[in-house]
Chain A
């Protein structure tokens, strides 16, 4: 039996009166690849931002590995504006910062690539190792952490080797072609030693050939690093090929969930999403 890695309960995210995510309940099990799909503005990235601590949700909670990591309920002015139904179900306040979430073992990539532009490929990955340090600023400055530093560098080299980026390790990250920059962002996320990897449109801007490569790549890292993957994606062939389960969002609300086959044949999805594609 597989255990649940991530569990979101009744997550509502409101910006003033605008409901970006409406009572989203979903879960991701150990070793799964789960996709979150939906038209533009459906609230997919907002859902990611709630999990990673960028936004504190208006209502609801998130569990990671059985531990509650985020919880909130409407207070103050939001009480009046709150549009959700399950008011009063949640009482706690747990608003960790993104770095605390990452430390727990959730790593992410970004929709628009956010590498550290002045740094080399190697350093981009090495910096992501910083959060697993045991040194403090004093020991690091006076090189009393040489053993750890050496280990970090070896691990970085190994990681780049596995992801096929070792050959370009000394290049500036911005000099890489687009596909490799995306891959480097994944490498950087893996360097934080996550249990759960959140990919925000990993295939955005890629051509069909690159997309096929990415499909294999995501499957491979899931197996190699024993990961659980949750991703947002628009490329339907990628989503249908790789996902174990799919959640479909539209206007912030969950309209369908299930295996790729189930979702594909769901009339609500066809109307909201695939139907639109046919007309386009």
Chain B
């Protein structure tokens, strides 16, 4: 039993290493401008924020819609702290070069992005976390909107550059960077979920009254899940800033939270691997695979394909999402995980069936 577990773990690590290797090789042979890299970069960033949202919505049963707000906090923290000192005068041109006149290394910036998001989550969690389901969703959504408005406020311009862009902070070129950071963070979340605390979170999700009666401190555990989830949302916000090369508060609309929620629901509420898979599929569909639908001058042979025009992609995309939700009512993965053990069981079941037929 323990031996097969260890073997599965090794196989999993080898598979992950293979993915990294493939990405590295692809970066060497494909042109840098390939859409594939956009999808891989953005997909890995969304995977992290989707998993962090899943930790809250799927594993702790707290329906929160504040994710975009915490990403914003992370993105701004990273951008504000890492813009090189000599570029600050240009970036903060309307605010005399801004009030911060130092820059921290990239790794510290990313870490602080998480810490700041977590800190705000802790504060906001104190009053709102005793709310249930829809009410919590509305409260956190409101928080995200307030944060977005505050960051565009003129008076804070010395720090946030008002409603102007933040730019010229360090960015990444290779898709391996967001892969590595997201992978590392998701691994920590998986470890947490499988620990005694993760089990307590699931107990709260399944039955709060019973969880409390069995000695699980609800307030403490909910705050813990909320803070940790926001920490990783903050980190993914920093990664998103690096990916976009610029940051502006108006990008972090509630529509962004809904995109992430959609990824979580499609992947399966309560499935980490589901969230990861669906975030790549989601980004690929919205950014890459359906692009051809926007081309009005498409001919197959001599036949002019009707309906296609700019914007038609979004119609098809919405239909695809509706179809997935109708066909897989609990998401692609349900609450199951994609695992080596699962594949082995599935294979042996298939084989047994074949033997029975023969």
Contacts from A to B (Cβ < 8 Å): 52, 54, 97-100, 102-103, 107-108, 110, 114-119, 123, 126-131, 133, 135, 137, 140-143, 145, 149, 152, 188-189, 191-192
Report yes or no: B196 in contact with A152, Cβ–Cβ below 8 A.
Answer: yes
In the complex, what distance in Å separates the CA atom of A52 from the CA atom of B209? 11
Which residues of chain B are within 8 angstroms of A97 by Cβ–Cβ distance? 212, 217-219
Q: Are B335 and A131 in contact (CB under 8 A)?
A: no
12 A–B contacts from the bound complex (CB under 8 Å): A98-B212, A98-B213, A99-B214, A102-B215, A103-B215, A107-B214, A110-B210, A114-B207, A116-B207, A129-B196, A137-B224, A140-B196
In the assembled complex, the Cα of A127 lies from the Cα of B200 at a distance in Å of: 6
The 9 closest A-B pairs by CB, nearest first: A131-B215, A102-B215, A116-B206, A140-B195, A114-B210, A98-B212, A141-B192, A128-B214, A127-B203
User: Which of A100, A108, A119 contacts B206, CB < 8 Å?
Assistant: A119
User: Does any Cβ of A come within 8 Å of B197's Cβ?
Assistant: yes
Q: Can you name the residue of chain B whose Cβ is closest to the Cβ of A113?
A: B210
CA distance A117 to B207 in the complex (A): 8
Contact of B196 among A54, A110, A117, A130 (CB under 8 A): A130
Given contacts A114-B207, A119-B206, contact A108 B197 (CB under 8 A): no
Q: For residue A135, which residues in chain B have a CB less than 8 angstroms away from its CB?
A: 196
The CA of A102 and the CA of B199, in the complex, are separated in Å by 18
Q: Least Cβ distance of A57 to chain B in Å? A: 17
Q: Please tell me which one of the listed residues B197, B212, B213, B215 contacts residue A137 in the complex, with CB atoms under 8 A apart.
A: B197
Contact A115:B191 (CB < 8 A) given known A128-B215, A149-B196: no
Q: How far is the CB of A115 from chain B (nearest CB, A)?
A: 7
Tell yes or no: B90 within 8 A of A by CB: no
Let me know if B203 and A143 touch, CB within 8 A: no
**Number of residues from B at the complex interface, CB < 8 A:** 28
Query: What residues of chain B lie closer than 8 Å to A129, measured between beta carbons?
Result: 196
Q: Which residues of A contact B228 (CB under 8 A)?
A: 137
In addition to A98-B213, A102-B214, 20 A-B residue pairs with Cβ atoms within 8 Å of each other are A54-B209, A54-B213, A110-B210, A110-B213, A114-B209, A116-B203, A116-B207, A116-B210, A119-B202, A119-B206, A128-B214, A129-B196, A130-B196, A130-B214, A130-B216, A131-B214, A131-B215, A141-B195, A143-B191, A189-B214
Q: How far is the CA of A194 from the CA of B224 in the complex (A)?
A: 26
**Are A140 and B215 also in contact (CB < 8 A) when A116-B210, A127-B203 are?**
no
Given A135-B196, A141-B191, are A118 and B335 also a contact pair (CB < 8 Å)?
yes
Let me know if A123 and B188 touch, CB within 8 A. Answer: no
- Nearest Cβ on chain A to B337's Cβ, whole angstroms: 13
Expressed in whole angstroms, the Cα–Cα distance for A6 and B214 within the complex equals 19
Question: Considering the chains assembled together, what is the distance between the CA atoms of A82 and B215 in angstroms?
Answer: 32
Bound state CA distance, A127 and B195, in angstroms? 10
Residue among A98, A102, A115, A143 with the most chain B CB within 10 A? Answer: A98
> What residue of chain B has the Cβ atom nearest to residue A135's Cβ?
B196
Most interface-central of A100, A107, A128, A142 (chain B CB within 10 A): A128
Q: List B contacts of A143 (CB < 8 A).
A: 191, 195
Complex alpha-carbon distance, A140 and B210, angstroms: 22
Cβ contacts under 8 Å, B335 to chain A: 118
What residues of chain B lie closer than 8 Å to A52, measured between beta carbons?
A: 213
Bound CA–CA A129/B195 (angstroms): 12
> CA of A52 to CA of B196 in the docked complex: distance in angstroms?
24
**A140 in contact with B197 given A99-B218, A128-B215, A130-B216 (CB within 8 Å):** yes
B205: nearest chain-A partner, CB-CB:
A118
Residue of B nearest to A116 (CB): B206
Q: In angstroms, how far is the closest chain A Cβ from the Cβ of B168?
A: 36
**A192:B207 contact, CB within 8 angstroms:** no
Specify which chain B residues have a CB less than 8 angstroms from the CB of A103 in the assembled complex: 215
In whole angstroms, what is the CA distance A192 to B196 when docked? Answer: 14
Residues of A contacting B206 in the complex (Cβ-Cβ under 8 angstroms)? 116-119
Minimal Cβ-Cβ distance residue in A for B224:
A137
CA distance A97 to B211 in the complex (A): 12
Nearest Cβ on chain A to B267's Cβ, whole angstroms: 17
Query: For the complex, what is the distance from the CA of A135 to the CA of B335, rounded to whole Å?
Result: 27
State whether B207 touches A130 (Cβ < 8 A). no
In the complex, A141→B34 CA distance in Å?
38
In the complex, the answer to whether B210 meets A192 with C-beta atoms within 8 Å is no
Shortest beta-carbon distance from A150 to chain B in Å: 12
A99 touches B217 (CB 8 A): yes
Please judge, given known A-B contacts A118-B335, A128-B214, A192-B214, whether A145 and B203 are in contact too, CB under 8 Å: no
Q: Are A115 and B196 in contact (CB under 8 A)?
A: no
Q: Which of B197, B207, B216 contacts A99 (CB 8 A)?
A: B216
A58 CB → nearest B CB, Å: 21
A115-B210, A116-B206, A118-B206 known; A141+B197 contact, CB < 8 A: yes
A25 to B272, CA, bound (A): 52
